[in-house]
Structure 1
Amino acid sequence: MKDEKVNFKLQSSEYANLWILDSGITFLNHGSFGACPKAVLRVQQELRSQLEQEPINFFGRAWEPLIDNARSKLSEFVGADSEDVVFVNNATTGVNAVLRSLTFTAEDEILTTNHEYNACRNALDFIASRTGVRIVIAKIPFPIESPQQLIAAVMERVSPKTKLALIDHITSQTGLIFPIQQLIQELQQQGVDTLIDGAHAPGMIALNLREVGATYYTGNCHKWLCAPKGAAFLYVQRDKQPEIRPLTISHGANSPRTDKSRFQLEFDWMGTDDPTAYMCVPEAIAFMGSLLPGGWDELRQRNHQLVLEARQLLCQSLGVLPPCPESMIGSMAVVPMPTASENRHFMSVHDELFDKFGIQVQVVPWQESPRLLLRISAQIYNTLEQYAYLAKALSQLAEDWGEGR
């Protein structure tokens, strides 16, 4: 096959024109960084114009009411009290803020899993190098047959030394929804606090943090909520807030104000930056919730159904079995790559799909067979025809690889 991109005209979703995504690209990777709708970007640009027209007035008067409003609307959406929520740039920052704030010793253990996001695993390793805390890895099988396998794998690694568990709500590599509420309950019974990396959860699945019960929870707003890049949140249980500090210590550390908690005073102002991504969260929630008659519930169900149909199509085309039950999938799904790809680097497969076929999709290296995973995302701008095109492209690549090209 020639190296130039293969031309293939796909029928667009009726919602595709609400985004500025390149119409020449088959974009099946909403999960990595999200995509912000035009309407939300327009609101952000208006806010940025206000900021630059009168920076002193914006930061001195307009900024705090806008942040408080955004926090209130977001807290309502994720089922939390607004007093327990602060904004951060991304979920990785939220994880780091908690880990850097807590005290660990060489006698302690932090429990995580082999599905943990690489950036957060690096944060754990950094904390271990500074404090001597032992990082314990629960090996979650994959492919997996049931959530109970996952719970058993985590709980059998708990010990009297386990001080904290860092667990994904929805894994990045394998697209699995963990049974997080049951896990938290069982860990709490063992006296273990929980830090939940919910990077993908807000907007993909219904979320009620009061019911979830995590000690600490962080999630992105720029992925499935479709807010601008750089909008995320950190939730901390009220009694734990005094010990959690932001990564940047600024004016809030000695503010004389008593109308807000030290937790919010410190996180809300960490120096001059562009806060407009946070301020656009209410617009993103309202806009995405307005696209279908059934609001967010219908949107989540539509995306879920689309990704299940796409997974089935790809598995049939590739001759592979689905690696997890449907109940553990939200709006992302993973499909094992064909054996012909096993000796290829994951980025070379990604680049071939992009350069030859104009397909943007996540190719994931895995620790054991299958060595390569294909992670697809489903957002309202996607169509089943796009995944059929992906299946054809993979079939063509498999033929090329089999010929040693």
Structure 2
Amino acid sequence: MIRNTAKWLEEVYNIELESVPITFPLADEEDFLRAMQKSLESIDVSRLRFVVLDHIVSVPAVREPIKELAQLIKSYNKDTFVMVDGAHAMGQVKKLTIGDLGPIDAYLSNGHKWCYSPKGSAFLWVNQAVTSNVFPEPTVISSANSIGPTSFSERYTYVSTRDYTAFLSMSKALEFRENLGGQQAIYEYVNGLAMDAKQYLIDLWNVTAMAPDGMEDYMINIGLPKGIPDAEVGKALHDWLLDKHNMYMLVLYNKESEVFFTRLSAQVYLDLTDFVSLGE
């Protein structure tokens, strides 16, 4: 978790952290930009060294306007390193093109969440202007990763006793996706299912969405029906669905808007009847 890592760095290296609070439900992407600008104007931006943006936030699961956010940050301090956490993006974002994301410095994404490859498969992209400052962590010195003119890709090619099985599986995962029709077909089905399920549950429960359709891809965020007074009751609902109905549903709380909600995920092996069963 990025937040836990940042907290550790704060304690060990005495860095200062600044979080940007976002209030849900969202109206549009401008909510992110307004919140970021407010935060930038509240700090000494000349000391701003590193910013982490989520391409798709985990909870609530919404896609951030990365290009516009990166441009905004760089307009305040062009030397700030902008890192994008794209853990949920590979396989879920309709068309993931790094060049379309604006002035970012690094991008990291996992394969095991939405690309159907195992844990440990991922990709790291780093802007060529800063590759000289990026190394595997913990630092490993080996025959293919030595101090000196080692190329950026070579630093990660042979990392001591690392098990490379997950890396090697990526080609088969991509082949499997092609057998399903490819990214376009997968996106059209899963995103379409997510939007249909979202509207069905909103109508059934008489609740509101946490974000517009255009900011969600495969994961949807829906307010829960009134009657959940606290986290203890929310946990009881979670446990009851799991133990009695073999359904897993997160019961989450957004403190800024003081609302309980759930994040649900569509997938290629689901259809609308699965969400109908949950709703009922």
Partner of 1:334: 221
Contact 1:167 1:197 in 2 (8 A): yes
TM-score under structure 1 normalisation? 0.63
Q: Output one character per residue of 1:357-382: Cα deviation in whole Å (capped at 9) or x when no partner.
A: 11123333332444432111111111
Q: 1:142 aligns with which of 24, 36, 39?
A: 24
The amino acid that maps onto 1:222 is H
Q: Output one character per residue of 1:8-31: Cα deviation in whole Å (capped at 9) or x when no partner.
A: xxxxxxxxxxxxxxxxxxxxxxxx
**In structure 2, C-alpha distance between the alignment counterparts of 1:322 and 1:358, rounded to whole Å:** 25
Q: How does 1:114-125 map to 2 (within 5 A)?
A: 119-125=1-7
> Residues 253, 174 of structure 1: CA spacing in aligned structure 2 closer, same or farther, 3 A cutoff?
farther
Q: Output one character per residue of 1:318-369: Cα deviation in whole Å (capped at 9) or x when no partner.
A: 1101121111011100111222123133443322211111112333333244
**In structure 2, C-alpha distance between the alignment counterparts of 1:390 and 1:211, rounded to whole Å:** 38
Shift of 1:125: 1.1
Partner of 1:291: 180
**In structure 2, C-alpha distance between the alignment counterparts of 1:264 and 1:367, rounded to whole Å:** 43
**In structure 2, C-alpha distance between the alignment counterparts of 1:309 and 1:285, rounded to whole Å:** 27
- SS in structure 1 at match of 2:39: coil
Aligned residues: 271
Q: Output one character per residue of 1:30-57: Cα deviation in whole Å (capped at 9) or x when no partner.
A: xxxxxxxxxxxxxxxxxxxxxxxxxxxx
Richer in helix (by share): 1
**In structure 2, C-alpha distance between the alignment counterparts of 1:144 and 1:229, rounded to whole Å:** 32
Partner of 2:275: 387
- SS in structure 2 at match of 1:137: coil
Partner of 1:34: none
Q: How does 1:156-235 map to 2 (within 5 A)?
A: 156-158=38-40, 159-190=45-76, 191=78, 192-205=80-93, 206-213=95-102, 214-235=104-125
- SS in structure 2 at match of 1:157: helix
Q: How does 1:2-401 map to 2 (within 5 A)?
A: 119-158=1-40, 159-190=45-76, 191=78, 192-205=80-93, 206-213=95-102, 214-252=104-142, 255=145, 261=151, 263-292=152-181, 295-345=182-232, 346-392=234-280
Q: Output one character per residue of 1:183-202: Cα deviation in whole Å (capped at 9) or x when no partner.
A: 11222222132111111000
Shift of 1:253: 7.7
- SS in structure 2 at match of 1:339: coil
Contact 2:144 2:157 in 1 (8 A): no
**In structure 1, C-alpha distance between the alignment counterparts of 2:140 and 2:46, rounded to whole Å:** 37
Contact 1:252 1:265 in 2 (8 A): no
Structure 1, unmatched stretches of 5+, are 1-118, 393-405
Q: Quick one: higher RCO (CA 8 Å, sep 6+), 1 or 2? A: 1
> Which is worse superposed, 342-351 or 241-250?
342-351
Contact 1:361 1:375 in 2 (8 A): yes
> Residues 257, 187 of structure 1: CA spacing in aligned structure 2 closer, same or farther, 3 A cutoff?
closer
> Which is worse superposed, 346-355 or 228-237?
346-355
**In structure 2, C-alpha distance between the alignment counterparts of 1:289 and 1:344, rounded to whole Å:** 42
Shift of 1:257: 10
- SS in structure 1 at match of 2:9: helix
Q: Larger Cα Rg: Structure 1 or Structure 2?
A: 1
Q: Output one character per residue of 1:80-124: Cα deviation in whole Å (capped at 9) or x when no partner.
A: xxxxxxxxxxxxxxxxxxxxxxxxxxxxxxxxxxxxxxx211111
The amino acid that maps onto 2:166 is A
Shift of 1:249: 2.3
- SS in structure 2 at match of 1:341: coil
> Residues 254, 287 of structure 1: CA spacing in aligned structure 2 closer, same or farther, 3 A cutoff?
closer
Shift of 1:256: 6.0
> Residues 149, 255 of structure 1: CA spacing in aligned structure 2 closer, same or farther, 3 A cutoff?
closer
**In structure 2, C-alpha distance between the alignment counterparts of 1:321 and 1:371, rounded to whole Å:** 10
- SS in structure 2 at match of 1:183: helix
The amino acid that maps onto 1:313 is Y
RMSD over aligned CA atoms reads 2.1
TM-score under structure 2 normalisation? 0.89
> Residues 136, 172 of structure 1: CA spacing in aligned structure 2 closer, same or farther, 3 A cutoff?
same
- SS in structure 2 at match of 1:142: coil
**In structure 1, C-alpha distance between the alignment counterparts of 2:251 and 2:106, rounded to whole Å:** 30
- SS in structure 1 at match of 2:199: helix
Contact 1:170 1:201 in 2 (8 A): yes
